Amino acid sequence: MNPATAVTRLAALAQETRLKTFRLLVQAGPQGLCVSDIQARVRTPAPTLSFHLKELARAGLIEARQDGRFIYYAPNLAAMNALLGYLTENCCGGKSC
């Protein structure tokens, strides 16, 4: 991962509603949640939630899929793991912690 990608992803998570939404989606797992379920749990107005979902998707941390008239969002677990790996790749100077 390059530093610019890491900064983009960290910046997307550096906002309370987006962090709460991302953590909710991680808990839901790969199947994700529909927007109305996310909205009910995060308790954010629809236009505001839409903005935050767009930012998380732009950073590559979540992915959307349409099923009929519903849109589901799911975490991009590979992107999350890549970010965690980038942050910890030189942990303890490469020695076992």
C-alpha distances (whole Å) from 20 to each of 26, 43, 96 are 10, 10, 32
Three-class SS state of 73: strand
- Looking at residue 75, its pLDDT comes to 98
What pLDDT does 92 receive?
Answer: 78
Give DSSP secondary structure letters for 25-52. Answer: HHHH-TT-EEHHHHHHHHT--HHHHHHH
Predicted confidence (pLDDT) per residue in 81-97, tens digit: 999 999 998 887 767 66
Q: How far apart are CA 17 and CA 39, in angstroms?
A: 11
Question: Which pair of tokens denotes residue 56?
Answer: 């998380």
pLDDT, one tens digit per residue, over 34-81 is 999 999 999 999 999 999 999 999 999 999 999 999 999 999 999 999
What six digits make up the tokens of 88?
Answer: 């910890």
Q: What is the pLDDT of residue 82?
A: 97
* Domains of the chain, earliest start first: 3-86 (1.10.10.10)
